[in-house]
Structure formats: structure tokens, C-alpha cells
């Protein structure tokens, strides 16, 4: 038997070498100018600054094909012990529209990389709606990849939280409606900080007791936003110089060995175990972490709080646009959103949810991180929309710090 394995394994090694010869050959081909011939000529975008490119609508199959394809982030909806989503089941029963619910939106950038080639080529993405973070909505609108929502199908829009009605990246909410919102704050594990409280970014970046045990977020606007606010800059009016100045503070802390890493959602486990002493964290995560580790501390900024929303959008050529709008409308019913908020612990964007939960689940209803007070909401700030050039430049500078 092993003798049969043997030549197979040897062939791996040979393959590694013949790959080299293949590449050598390829270099010759390249020299012949094949590159230019085969290279993609580039998309001569209709517009680089606004969505003047008319979004392309597909023939709407909603009435005949009772289906809606929805991509969402993992664990971002109510779920019961059987692994089903009660709110979706109720929608199916109520409307007869089947929901293909996919938790395949793990990361804004990765998801964008997945759908961009299709949208750029003017093809259907196979999805009728998905949930993108504010800045990604800004980019999708800028590139003309999403369609205006038909408010006639969304009468429950009247329940939208007033503070979310007008956002800088989508004036008048033409293209997007929020699914959930959250704050960015500082979280710490008293076990690892020696009992001391960590309440500000300044402390996070400069308290030597935390050296090498601090993480920040790979979400540029959240991480740099926290520092910007501490420097007294309004996120709605950030300039390139202010951005660079805030980034320099982070770079300095990183070079000093204060910052251990930049993470996505994976900061939660080390924080709970104490391997991370303090970090930037999202409110929904903190509520869930605290359920298991009540000793974890959390602080929202005194001067201002970066706020983000993840928003429904409908991509170009979605085949069931009306069904998607009906789905959005359904979740803008406070009773439905209450069931979701009770589970996901982020901030629901629908007015009238709190009174329902006061009766059903007072613990959630009284949690300031899920239902923030007026005073806290007044401090919430949203990062302004960036132009294409700014976005590239900011991203490049930020990644130079993250991977430098």
C-alpha cells in the first residue's frame, strides 16, 4: 500500500519544479507583449463622484417568483433553539415569499471583492438585498451599484428613527435603510489591567500598564474616528490633515509596542480570556460578552461616540426588488424589530421598539448600549462620505500603519 502512495508524493515534488519551468516559459510569453493584449482595458466609469450613472433595474420577477435572496452578517438576526429564524418564518407565512437567508457577509471588503466583478460587468449578483456598513453604502452609491428604494412598498418607513433619516452618504435615504446600529467604545478586562479602569483612547494608547496588550479595529473609520474625536475633530468634517495627525498618534503607539494588533470581530475571545487587556469594541459584542463575563468594563467617549449602521441596499439587476422592499418594510414594524433587537443586542433603527421590550424583556430594554439615552445619542457621530481619491488615500495610509 505505501508503495502506491510513494509515487504520488514524489510527483508533488516534481510538480513544484515543473511549475518553475512553466513560469519561465510564461515570462517569455509575457515579453512577447501578450500582457497588453490580454490585460483588462479598464472600465471607463460613467462617473467617479456621483451616482449619475442610472442604476440598472432588472425586470422584476417579484409577483411571479415569490422569492427574496438576502445576504447578511453571521449571527445578526433572531434565532431559536432549532436554529431557525422566527422572524423570517413569520414573514414567509404572512406574505408567501420564500426567503433565502445567507449569512455570507463576513466582511465589507471581502464581500465587495466578491460582488464587484459582477456589478462592474453589469450582471446579476444573485442577491436581492444585503446589509452593508455606512461607508460601504457610500462606495456602492458612488459607483452606481445600487438602486433607489421604492418607498411605496415600504410604508413602515415612518417608523425610522429620526436621527438616522439624513445621513451624509445617502441624503434622504434614497438607496439605503438601516438594519442595526452600534457604537464604538473602549472595552477592558479588569483581570488583565490589574483592576484599573480604561476609559479613553488616550489611556488605551499611552498607559504603559497596558503595553502590548491593546488591540484596535481593522475598521479604519472606527479606529481613527475614536482618536479624531478625542482630538476634538467632528467626524462629519474630517480633513486630510486631521486624519493624518490622528493616524500619526496611532503609529506612534504601535511603534512603542503599545498596540498588539488590529482585529475584526476576533478581538472578543482574547479580551474575555485576558490576553487582551483593553481594546476598541463594538457595543453589540460587548453586551454579549458581558452576559458571560459581567466583570468586563466598557466606556463610551465623553466628547463623542463613533456610530455605525449596517444598511439594507438593493443591488443593480436584483430580480426580486419588490419582494426585498416588502422584507425591509416587514422589519420596520416595531413588533418584528423588537424580536430581532432582543436577540442581536445592537441598536434597532426603528422607533417604538423600546416600549414593547420594556414589557417583554426589561433587561434588554433598560440596557443603555441597546437603547441609548438622548444624552448619549446626542454624542453619536458618523464618519462623512469620502471621495474616491480620499478613500484610496486614507485606506493606504491606514493600511501602512496596520501592516507596516
Beta-sheet pairing, 278-282 with 177-188: antiparallel
**What is the nearest approach in angstroms of other proteins to the Cβ of residue 174?**
20
Grid coordinates of 185:
467604545
Site track 40-69 with other proteins (rule: CB under 8 A), x = hit: xxxxxx--x---------------------
Residues in CB range of 304: below 8 A, 6 or more apart: 229, 234, 235, 379, 380, 381
From the list 27-35, 121-129, 351-359, 372-380, the region that binds other proteins by CB under 8 A is: 27-35
Q: 299-337: b or e for each residue (b if 16 or more CB lie within 10 Å)? A: bbbeebbbbbbbbbbbbbbbbbbbbbbbbbbbbbbbebb
Separation CA 313–CA 112 (nearest Å): 13
Q: Please, which residue, 38 or 152, has the CB nearer to other proteins?
A: 38
Please pick, from the candidates 85, 127, 173, 254, the single residue that binds other proteins as defined by CB under 8 A: 254
Check residue 121 for interaction with other proteins (CB under 8 A): no
Please pick, from the candidates 10, 54, 57, 291, the single residue that binds other proteins as defined by CB under 8 A: 10
Grid coordinates of 136:
460601504
Q: Cell 417608523: give the residue.
A: 159
Q: How many other CB atoms are found less than 10 A from the CB of residue 50? A: 10
Separation CA 112–CA 212 (nearest Å): 32
**H-state helical runs in 214-282:** 220-230, 240-255, 268-273
**What is the nearest approach in angstroms of other proteins to the Cβ of residue 258?**
9
CB distance 178 to 308 below 8 Å: no
Separation CA 186–CA 233 (nearest Å): 18
Check residue 116 for interaction with other proteins (CB under 8 A): yes
**What is the nearest approach in angstroms of other proteins to the Cβ of residue 39?**
3
Please pick, from the candidates 243, 262, 330, 331, the single residue that binds other proteins as defined by CB under 8 A: 262
**What is the nearest approach in angstroms of other proteins to the Cβ of residue 21?**
10
How many chain residues are in contact with other proteins, going by CB under 8 A? 63
Check residue 237 for interaction with other proteins (CB under 8 A): no
Grid coordinates of 25:
516559459
From the list 155-163, 349-357, 374-382, 389-397, the region that binds other proteins by CB under 8 A is: 389-397
**What is the nearest approach in angstroms of other proteins to the Cβ of residue 13?**
3
Interaction with other proteins in 126-155: which residues (CB under 8 A)? 142-143
Please pick, from the candidates 14, 84, 165, 197, the single residue that binds other proteins as defined by CB under 8 A: 14
**What is the nearest approach in angstroms of other proteins to the Cβ of residue 20?**
5
Q: How far is CA 374 from CA 181, 371, 377, 379, 380, in A?
A: 15, 9, 5, 9, 10
**What is the nearest approach in angstroms of other proteins to the Cβ of residue 268?**
11
- DSSP class per residue in 156-200: GGGGB-GGGSSBTTBTTSSS-EEEEEEEEEEEE-HHHHTT----S
CB distance 325 to 313 below 8 Å: no
Site track 210-229 with other proteins (rule: CB under 8 A), x = hit: -xxx----x-x---------
Please pick, from the candidates 28, 32, 38, 373, the single residue that binds other proteins as defined by CB under 8 A: 38
Check residue 34 for interaction with other proteins (CB under 8 A): yes
The site for other proteins (CB under 8 A) is made up of 1-3, 5-6, 9-10, 12-14, 16-17, 20, 22-23, 26, 29-30, 34-36, 38-45, 48, 107, 109-110, 112-113, 116, 142-143, 211-213, 218, 220, 254, 257, 259-262, 266, 269-270, 273-275, 388, 392, 395-396, 399, 402-404
Amino acid at each position: 500500500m505505501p508503495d502506491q502512495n510513494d509515487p504520488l508524493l514524489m510527483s508533488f515534488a516534481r510538480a513544484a519544479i515543473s511549475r518553475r519551468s512553466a513560469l519561465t516559459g510564461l515570462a517569455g510569453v509575457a515579453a512577447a507583449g501578450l500582457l497588453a493584449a490580454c490585460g483588462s482595458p479598464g472600465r471607463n466609469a460613467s462617473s467617479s463622484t456621483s451616482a449619475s450613472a442610472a442604476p440598472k433595474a432588472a425586470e422584476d420577477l417579484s409577483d411571479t417568483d415569490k422569492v427574496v435572496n438576502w445576504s447578511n452578517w453571521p449571527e445578526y438576526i433572531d434565532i431559536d433553539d432549532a436554529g431557525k429564524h422566527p422572524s423570517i418564518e413569520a414573514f414567509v407565512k404572512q406574505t408567501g415569499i420564500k426567503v433565502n437567508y445567507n449569512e455570507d457577509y463576513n466582511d465589507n471588503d471581502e464581500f465587495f471583492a466578491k460582488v464587484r466583478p459582477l456589478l462592474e460587468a453589469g450582471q446579476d449578483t444573485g442577491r436581492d438585498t444585503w446589509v452593508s456598513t455606512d461607508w460601504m453604502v457610500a462606495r456602492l452609491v458612488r459607483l452606481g451599484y445600487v438602486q433607489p428604494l421604492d418607498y411605496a412598498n415600504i410604508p413602515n418607513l415612518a417608523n425610522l428613527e429620526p436621527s438616522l433619516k439624513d445621513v451624509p452618504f445617502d441624503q434622504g435615504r434614497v438607496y439605503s435603510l438601516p438594519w442595526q446600529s452600534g457604537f464604538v467604545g473602549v472595552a477592558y478586562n479588569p483581570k488583565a489591567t490589574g483592576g484599573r479602569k480604561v476609559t479613553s483612547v488616550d489611556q488605551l494608547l499611552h498607559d504603559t500598564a497596558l503595553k502590548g496588550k491593546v488591540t484596535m479595529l481593522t475598521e479604519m473609520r472606527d479606529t481613527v474616528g475614536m482618536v479624531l474625536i478625542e482630538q476634538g475633530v467632528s467626524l462629519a468634517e474630517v480633513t486630510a490633515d486631521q486624519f493624518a495627525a490622528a493616524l500619526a498618534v496611532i503609529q506612534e503607539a504601535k511603534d512603542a509596542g503599545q498596540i498588539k494588533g488590529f482585529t475584526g470581530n476576533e478581538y472578543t475571545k482574547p479580551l474575555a480570556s485576558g490576553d487582551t487587556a483593553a481594546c476598541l469594541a463594538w457595543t453589540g459584542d460587548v453586551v454579549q460578552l458581558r452576559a458571560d463575563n459581567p466583570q468586563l468594563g466598557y466606556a463610551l467617549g465623553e466628547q463623542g461616540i463613533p456610530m455605525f449602521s449596517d444598511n439594507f441596499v438593493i443591488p443593480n439587476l436584483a430580480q426580486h426588488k419588490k419582494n426585498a422592499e416588502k422584507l425591509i418594510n416587514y422589519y420596520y414594524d416595531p413588533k418584528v424589530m423588537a424580536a430581532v433587537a432582543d436577540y442581536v443586542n445592537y441598536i434597532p433603527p426603528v422607533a417604538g421598539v423600546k416600549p414593547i421590550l420594556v414589557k417583554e424583556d426589561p433587561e434588554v430594554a433598560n440596557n443603555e448600549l441597546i437603547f441609548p439615552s438622548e444624552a448619549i445619542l446626542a454624542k453619536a457621530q458618523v464618519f462623512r462620505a469620502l471621495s474616491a481619491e480620499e478613500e484610496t488615500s486614507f485606506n493606504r495610509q491606514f493600511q501602512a500603519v496596520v501592516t507596516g
